[in-house]
Structure 1
Amino acid sequence: MPIATYALIALTAVVSWVAFNQRKLADRLILWPPAVHRHKQYDRLLTYGFIHADFLHLFFNMITLYFFGGQIEAVMGQWSGPWTYPLFYLSALVVSILPSYLKNQNNPNYLSLGASGAVSAVLFSFILLAPWQLIFVFFIPMPAFVFAVVYVGYSIWMDRRGGDRINHSAHLAGAAYGVMFMLIMRPQVLGHFLDALMHPSFGR
């Protein structure tokens, strides 16, 4: 049983739900760079990932974590023990938001929230292991590595374009972190990924 994944989903859901109804809590947990820079509230680099803008934002992040987190938790648990996966997830929250934080360190109008960066890290670590696994995007099936290419391209384009209030930079940083974390843990994963790409096997 993927205990850590279920615990992260439950904690995120509860904290997000409470924050929906308590603005003061949301204001304290959200990433607001001046609070980190000026008031040394470094915990915001982590807590922002446990609140969400609305129910749909929460649902899409947690359903993705549900489908892929358990599998990555199992793999990491086999490789190096049960604490690796939760540490990976929590560190992904911090690493994925760092580019946005550094860019907006003195911007009093910048806010960011949501687990998308860490969820991207989990998803892309999974894609390394199973590039031909079918992923359903709005009920449209596509191989995981194709989704990865589209996702990265779209995120880069939207990050440069801006205007949709979504932190695409965190998505990209999280995805990169997920890949690097897996390769540092097991460098041979790269060989597995390349070999799998050369031998299409849809759904596996």
Structure 2
Amino acid sequence: MNDLHIATIAIIAANVLVSLKGFDDTYFFDRYKFGIGAIRAGQKERMFTSGFLHVDIAHLFFNMFTLYFFADVVIAWFGPVKFSIIYGISLFAGSLLALFFHKDEPYYSAVGASGAVTGVLYAAILLQPDDSLFIMFIPVPIPAYILGIGYLLYSIYGMKSRLGNIGHTAHFGGAIGGYITTLFFIPDLLRTDTLTVLLLAVPIILLFILEKMGKI
């Protein structure tokens, strides 16, 4: 593993500092978390600030640990500026999808960098789909594109069943942000890796078909 790039360090530092402030300051946490009612009342900044707050140390660690593993892949392809753009767009896309799906739930709230991190993860998978990844409790490596598709299908299930206290919608929105932004930066992937691009689009298309049918 290479040394962390300064862009990754800066993002991790921002998450740590804002989250620590939120741990100790309930007013700060409540003021800047994602909240449907507050956002619809005009506090749009929450769609961004909520991505730097976390519920606890474990939540913060898991997100930053995941970012640590996949940020270098995206930076190696795009450099730190475009990596940061992917991170920011994925964060916003996660909030936007959560707002879309929960717009009629004024008390719905969420925090965490999961959407942004999932966007970086999905970008890395799109860029290097044949990489093999290990996940807990499965002793064999899994192709990255299989993991990406499976993760989004699980997120659809989580959204449908309201599984756990997890922002599945933000995860999915972040993945969409990372996917679209990566293709915007390298549109040639549509020609050189058409099958991967199409396969990774399947759960995204499925989500909106299910939403249109009223199944989610």
Q: Shared fold by TM > 0.5?
A: yes
For these two proteins, the number of residue pairs brought into alignment is 192
Q: Which secondary structure does the structure 1 equivalent of 2:106 belong to? A: coil
Residue 139 to residue 65, structure 1, CA distance change in 2 (3 Å): farther
SS state of the match for residue 15, structure 1? Answer: helix
Q: Residue 147 of structure 1 corresponds to which residue in structure 2?
A: 147
**Percent identity between the aligned chains?**
36
Alignment partner of 1:18 out of 16, 21, 39 = 21
Query: 1:127 offset after TM fit, Å?
Result: 0.5
Contact 1:96 1:117 in 2 (8 A): yes
Deviation at 1:192, TM superposition (A): 4.1
Distance in 1 separating the partners of 2:72 and 2:78: 10
Partner in structure 2 of residue 72 of structure 1: 74
Give the distance between the partners of 2:148 and 2:95, measured in 1 at CA. Answer: 20
| Conserved 8 A contact 2:115-2:171 | yes
Runs of 5+ unmatched residues, structure 2: 198-216
Match of 2:116 in 1: 118
User: Normalising by structure 2, what TM-score?
Assistant: 0.81
Corresponding position of 2:209: none
Give the aligned residue type for 1:11. A
Whole-angstrom distance in 1 between the partners of 2:149 and 2:176: 12
Q: CA RMSD in A?
A: 2.0
Q: Would the alpha carbon gap of residues 102 and 19 (structure 1) be closer, same or farther in structure 2, given more than 3 Å must change?
A: same
- Say whether the 8 Å CA contact 1:131–1:193 is kept in structure 2: no
4+ residue segments displaced more than 4 Å: 194-197
Contact 1:30 1:113 survives alignment (8 Å): yes
Give the distance between the partners of 1:133 and 1:30, measured in 2 at CA. 35
Q: What does 1:1-204 align with in structure 2 at a 5 Å threshold?
A: 2-38=5-41, 40-77=42-79, 82-138=80-136, 140=138, 141-194=141-194
| Whole-angstrom distance in 1 between the partners of 2:158 and 2:195 | 31
Query: Tell me, which stretches of 5 or more residues in structure 1 are unaligned?
Result: 198-204
- What SS does the aligned partner of 1:166 have? coil
Alpha-carbon offset, residue 124 of structure 1: 0.7
**CA offsets, 1:96-134, max 9 Å, x none?**
111211333353321011111111110011011211212
CA distance in 1: counterparts of 2:85 and 2:196, whole angstroms: 28
Change (3 A) 1:18 1:133: same
